[in-house]
Amino acid sequence: MTATEIAPVGAASPQHVPYRPPRAVRYGATAGLLVLLIAFPLVLPNPTVTSIGVFTMIYLIAAIGWNIFSGYSGYISIGHAAYYGIGQYTVALITIHAHLPGGWGLFGLLPVAGVVSALASIPIGFLLLRVRRHTFIVLTIAIMFILQLLAFNLTRFTNGSGGLTMPFPTWTGNFFNMPFYYVGLLAAVVAGAAAWWIRRSKYGLGLFAIRDDEERARGLGIKVTRSKLIAYAASAFFVGIAGGLYAPFVGSVYPQFAFDPTFDLAVAVLVFVGGIGTLSGPVLGALVLIPLQQYFYLQFGNANLYLIAYGVLFILILRLLPGGIVPGVTSAWRARLVARARARQEDTRPEDTGLKDDAGQKGRA
């Protein structure tokens, strides 16, 4: 750019291109995706395939929930399996102690699992949220392992490593997965709606400010501790629901699968891959990675092989699209629009190669 081209302060530039795709595209894509997800088990009723669908829904709920806290506030938790486990044990213990029969009624316990997880998260969050960054991450992991140890050792309460067994549902056969899938989808839609609502609320704006700079946010009058704690509890609520769905689906609850560190890694990786802090990132990540993981699991029979694939994928994403797929694609698309706008403006020099999107990969959709 030469000196004569410097725009006056405040003038519109070719970069003045909207950051997000038009509303019609966004809403249309959401509706289309929803239709696909509703139709999926009807089109492919094979139980192997639909069970992958159920796992995908469980992770989808958890990923959207996790993103409400970690994505919006910037505090990365690698210990949300704490709430996954609490959700599982809540449903299992209530079912066993209240002698509930297996069946549709158990789905009524999902909100209970969410609420218990959220309540448990408040004192934990109050302690953890005093620290930031790496310290915070390490402490979240520690809390998760402490709960796992408790589940192993409070044998009178949890039956320790013997685990808890859930009653069988009243339905069987090819239909077995369907109720779990659709209830999971419904919960995911509720989680998505919550994430969407928080994103466009003033409260969400405060969270984003905290993510960018907590001190500055405090200076603007935002009650940062309370904001973070609310987001933490909201994410625990949805992760608890994911656990509450997992327990009756699998039929048993064991400490190592309830408070499962690989669950934490999976959720974090899939949100990072999709695009952390975005609305569609966790959805994309879960819908792509969980079926892939389940496929690996079924195909190669080795539960840990997928972790290697995850690791490689994670490194590739961080290297190539540091913000994740959604922001990466959005900013590439935007760069195209900017280039086109500029080419229109200076059509004498259509080969202008000085164009680079300043937003880089950091943009958020």
Partner 1 sequence: MLTIAGLFAGYGGGDVLRGVDLTVAQGSITCVVGPNGAGKSTLLKVISGLLRPRLGTITFRDAPIGGASPRRVLEAGIVQVMQSRNLFPDLTVRQNVEIGGYLIKDQALLRRRLDEVSDQFPIVRERAGERAGQLSGGQQRMVELARALMLDPALVVLDEPSMGLEPRAAAAMYASVRNMAQTGRSILLVEQNVRAGLELATHGVVMETGRVRLEGTGTEVLAHPQMRALYLGGTIEESGVTDQEAAQEKTR
Among 10, 22, 173, 301, binds partner 1 (CB under 8 A): 10
CB nearer to partner 1: pick between 213 and 352:
213
Q: How far apart are CA 141 and CA 155, in angstroms?
A: 22
Among 3, 12, 43, 98, binds partner 1 (CB under 8 A): 12
CB of 125 to partner 1, least distance (A): 21
With binding defined as CB under 8 A, does residue 197 bind partner 1? Answer: no
80, 147 Cβ separation under 8 angstroms: no
CB nearer to partner 1: pick between 15 and 262:
15
Among 14, 15, 150, 176, binds partner 1 (CB under 8 A): 15
Rounded to 10°, the helix 133-153/110-128 angle is 130
Handedness of CA 106, 152, 232, 181 (dihedral sign): negative
CB nearer to partner 1: pick between 26 and 211:
211
Stretch that binds partner 1, among 18-26, 75-83, 101-109, 124-132 (CB under 8 A): 18-26
Among 133, 226, 356, 362, binds partner 1 (CB under 8 A): 362
Site for partner 1 in 202-221 (CB under 8 A): 202, 205-206, 208-209, 211-213, 216, 218-221
With binding defined as CB under 8 A, does residue 354 bind partner 1? Answer: no
Among 57, 222, 233, 236, binds partner 1 (CB under 8 A): 222
Residues engaged in binding partner 1 (CB under 8 A): 8-12, 15-16, 18-20, 202, 205-206, 208-209, 211-213, 216, 218-223, 358-359, 362-364
